[in-house]
Structure 1
Amino acid sequence: MAKLSNKFWFKLHGWFSLPVWIIFCFVCLTGTISVVSHELTWLTNPDSRASNPQNLAEKPMSELVEIVQQAHPTANITTVMSFESYLVNAVIFNDSDAPFAIAYVNQYTGQIQAINLGMTFTNFMRSLHGWLLFPWHVNYSVGYYIVCFMAIVMLGALVSGLVIYKKFWRSFIQPKLRLNQGKKTLLADLHRLAGVWSMWFLMLMSITGLWYLTQAIMWHNHIDLEPHAPLIEASQVPTSANDAPIRPYTLSNALQVAEQKFPGFKSTYIMLPEHNRDTYKVYGQGDHIFYDQYAYGVTVNPWSGTIESERSPAAMTTLQTLSHIADPLHYGTIGGLWTKVIWFIFGIFLTGMSITGFLMWGSRTVKAGRTDLDAPLATHSPQLVEQEGN
């Protein structure tokens, strides 16, 4: 009965991995690259580097918007984003000759270093990893569901693998890697060692992946995690017979409101009003390392300067908290570059495990096929074999 049980778990472990091996391996690989996509951008694109040889103070985002507006007077600026301290800020706008453009603005010098008219490397890798570039149908993507389903595959492979590998904890104190006993033994040792040392990472990726799956289902069923930013009452908007009214409160005022509301606030994502009843949406990060860079925020009325709505970890529901801590845990941004390196290394381990597992399965399949071919020769007379061949 024990042998039957082991055989069952072994087959289950294989079925959790092999039928979707290519997709699983691809998702692991693209996710590993996505973890260090900002660093790869810095290495490969000089225009993205926020050099600061004179140790200048960082300019506020409102000043960066003014710089881009002066350089492109007819542009409609919609969004401003900041990333790592060594990467430029992105000012997104559209113009008559550019339906979508990103100005790379050095936040220290104020220089526009480039205008990008396409998708960035980071966005491409996150999209490839997140939903395999499948199209979105309003509120869902088949590719997003496929990627999220890999969390179930990963969790099943982890549980079944631990059941198969008896006394797995010995790999922590007595790691075994036999280099001189053949390819099959080496692959098995690598697979087991990587699996045991990556247990925490596998569990973390599975849990965050299951949350993404839950989030996808809620999106698909029109369940909003965050309340929509309120519209300003029409009565608060002044009317003008000739020109459009000028907003008395600027983006600079909105940033000051956010900084006064949340001490230590650093803006990372800003959306400018799209119409007269819209607000300044100012989001950023605070002193909670486990929350993403959008966990704090306010929407500010451009006509009165008042806060229409606000966001902070202290006021979040359980689902909102999960949505804001999932990305830092999934991509390893909680501790900056050091945790990114750790996530990158274990991402390589995870990708390697999928490859070694497939190679082991392929070796056993070929061996089993050869055994089946040799079996008739060993169990039948030459005359019968000849008749069966005819």
Structure 2
Amino acid sequence: MKKLQKKDYFAIHSWIGVQLSIIFFIVCFSGTVAVFSHELDWVFNPEMRASPQKELASKNEILKQLKTDFPNQQITFWEKSREDYLVDIIHLENEKGAILYVFANPYTGKIQGSSSGTIQRFFRDLHYNLFIPTDIGNYMVLIFGFLLLGSLLSGLKFINNKRKHSLNIGKKNNALAYTKNLHKTFAVWSIPFIILFSVSAIWYFTERANLFSIADFIDDKEIENISMSSTKVENFSYSLDYDDAIEIAKKEIPNFTFGSFVISDNYKTLEVRGNSDVPLARYRANRVVIDAKTNAVLFLQKATETNSLMTINNLIDPIHFGYFGGLFTKAIWFIFGILICYLAASGIWIYLKRISKNKKGTYTFRYLNWSLFAVIQFFMYSRLILEQQISLKNHVIILCFWLLFLYLMYHIFYKKIRA
């Protein structure tokens, strides 16, 4: 078998960076913005702000206001924000299945507002599955984990003197040479985070595809043998005692702090999730499932007692998005996310600049990229209009975001190339 040469690795690296370049950039950029998406909600939506206080309000007091303000809705999910300067977000669903996000101040107990969408939710969905329904969109995103790792490994094979490139930014008198040097320099700086993001994405892919039957070891356990009948109860979610559920969870898990409520769709159970003494773990690492009729604990999961694979699985989210250390780690993850976005953008710019000068190469990759972009826009607006029914204001904000994106694409990859 012929041994691959540097030019072969360069061809692999270029192919990965070019063929799905625009979608690659969208995935990287949406993930980068998602790191600070909660803070963006805080900046642009005053209704989502909270002033930290020593005492927390009763969840049942918040429930009373929900019953008054939204009498015909059902709670499906109730989450405490990880940041103490943000409100609780309560997911309400009407009989048509439309979701409304209600903002409850965890300190005063007041309902401060509601919305059919948030910045965090928008970038979460864009990064999670590009708004493409079923598992297709999610698999498309996760495949980029393999491509990102392949791009790194192939790039390392043809970069000479990596120590030199870690400090070499180059001179600005030659745009192409300068961009090449900057591309290599930022790539060397970003190696640990490229490995982190790609490996965690590959883990997500393994989990989603159930490779090696991993679901047997990490999936949430199904709850059976519940005393309550499955007959639908009117406003089931409004009949629950949320304060009592938190107290039950505290008795079962040492140093438990509330993270979220999950209300079952079969009108039988209330699940409480949250943090404990285990660092880095996500809320789902600690679970207490309670029989809504008897208050009996049907299932208990402690982060301290999970198997090794489940422990790793519970660490992936905090490590992938960098929220485990508050604003400090978020800032680091955001900076290196921006550098990786630059690598994606500068890689395609270098390719286009080179073929515009040498008249060698092809532009056919554009058809695939812009076709996929059109598909994303179609499914995105289908969901925003038909399912979420977001406000005109939010439509304008999203439209401005994409118009800015298209303008930058035109300015950088068309105007600057021809300059």
TM-score by length of structure 1 reads 0.82
Other structure's SS at 1:109 match: coil
Output the CA distance in 1 between the equivalents of 2:207 and 2:237: 39
Output the CA distance in 1 between the equivalents of 2:98 and 2:136: 27
One-letter amino acid matched to 1:317: N
Residue 295 of structure 1: CA displacement? 1.4
Residue 293 of structure 1: CA displacement? 2.4
Structure 1 270/248 Cα, relative in aligned 2: closer, same or farther at 3 Å?
A: closer
Structure 1 280/96 Cα, relative in aligned 2: closer, same or farther at 3 Å?
A: closer
Bigger RCO (CA 8 Å, 6+ sep): 2
Answer yes or no: is 1:257 the counterpart of 2:248.
Answer: yes
Structure 1 88/205 Cα, relative in aligned 2: closer, same or farther at 3 Å?
A: same
Output the CA distance in 1 between the equivalents of 2:147 and 2:96: 46
Q: Which residue number corresponds to residue 364 of structure 2?
A: none
Asked if the contact 1:50/1:88 (under 8 Å) is kept, the reply is yes
Q: Which residue number corresponds to residue 144 of structure 2?
A: 150
Asked if the contact 1:65/1:91 (under 8 Å) is kept, the reply is no
Please state which structure has a larger fraction of its residues in helix.
2
Asked if the contact 2:263/2:270 (under 8 Å) is kept, the reply is yes
Structure 1 residue corresponding to 2:219, chosen from 216, 226, 243? 226
Output the CA distance in 2 between the equivalents of 1:79 and 1:135: 21
For 1:314-353, list aligned pairs within 5 A.
Answer: 314-353=304-343
Output the CA distance in 1 between the equivalents of 2:8 and 2:33: 35
Output the CA distance in 2 between the equivalents of 1:282 and 1:85: 19
Q: Which residue number corresponds to residue 387 of structure 2?
A: none
Output the CA distance in 2 between the equivalents of 1:301 and 1:257: 11
Residue 249 of structure 1: CA displacement? 7.9
For 1:53-132, list aligned pairs within 5 A.
Answer: 55-83=53-81, 84-95=83-94, 99-116=98-115, 118-132=116-130
Q: Which residue number corresponds to residue 40 of structure 1?
A: 40
Q: Which residue number corresponds to residue 272 of structure 1?
A: 263
Answer yes or no: is 1:193 the counterpart of 2:192.
Answer: no
Q: Which residue number corresponds to residue 13 of structure 1?
A: 13
**Segment of structure 1 superposing worse, 12-21 or 194-203:** 12-21
For 1:281-360, list aligned pairs within 5 A.
Answer: 281-360=271-350
| Cα RMSD after superposing both structures | 3.1
Q: Which residue number corresponds to residue 198 of structure 2?
A: 206
Asked if the contact 2:59/2:109 (under 8 Å) is kept, the reply is no
Output the CA distance in 2 between the equivalents of 1:17 and 1:248: 53
Structure 2 residue corresponding to 1:168, chosen from 162, 185, 199? 162
Asked if the contact 1:16/1:157 (under 8 Å) is kept, the reply is yes
Q: Deviations over 1:13-65 (max 9, x none)?
A: 1122111111111111111111110010100001111135xx35122434322
One-letter amino acid matched to 2:254: P
Aligned length, in residue pairs: 355
Asked if the contact 1:69/1:77 (under 8 Å) is kept, the reply is no
Residue 244 of structure 1: CA displacement? 11
Output the CA distance in 2 between the equivalents of 1:75 and 1:185: 59
Q: Deviations over 1:54-83 (max 9, x none)?
A: x35122434322332244444433321111
Other structure's SS at 1:346 match: helix
Asked if the contact 2:207/2:214 (under 8 Å) is kept, the reply is no
User: What's the % identity of the aligned pairs?
Assistant: 28
One-letter amino acid matched to 2:331: V
| 5+ long unaligned stretches in structure 2 | 362-419
Output the CA distance in 2 between the equivalents of 1:32 and 1:246: 35
Output the CA distance in 1 between the equivalents of 2:307 and 2:17: 35
One-letter amino acid matched to 1:192: K
Output the CA distance in 2 between the equivalents of 1:74 and 1:90: 18
One-letter amino acid matched to 2:142: C
Structure 1 249/156 Cα, relative in aligned 2: closer, same or farther at 3 Å?
A: closer
Residue 370 of structure 1: CA displacement? 7.0
Asked if the contact 1:249/1:303 (under 8 Å) is kept, the reply is no
Other structure's SS at 1:280 match: strand
Answer yes or no: is 1:135 the counterpart of 2:133.
Answer: yes
Structure 2 residue corresponding to 1:159, chosen from 153, 162, 166? 153
Residue 273 of structure 1: CA displacement? 5.0
Q: Deviations over 1:183-221 (max 9, x none)?
A: 1111011101100000000000110010111122129x9
Structure 1 81/249 Cα, relative in aligned 2: closer, same or farther at 3 Å?
A: closer
Max Rg structure: 1
| 5+ long unaligned stretches in structure 1 | 372-390
Q: Deviations over 1:286-337 (max 9, x none)?
A: 2333211221120112333321111222332343223311111111112111
Residue 99 of structure 1: CA displacement? 4.4
Output the CA distance in 2 between the equivalents of 1:129 and 1:8: 31
One-letter amino acid matched to 2:279: I
Q: Which residue number corresponds to residue 378 of structure 1?
A: none
Residue 358 of structure 1: CA displacement? 1.1
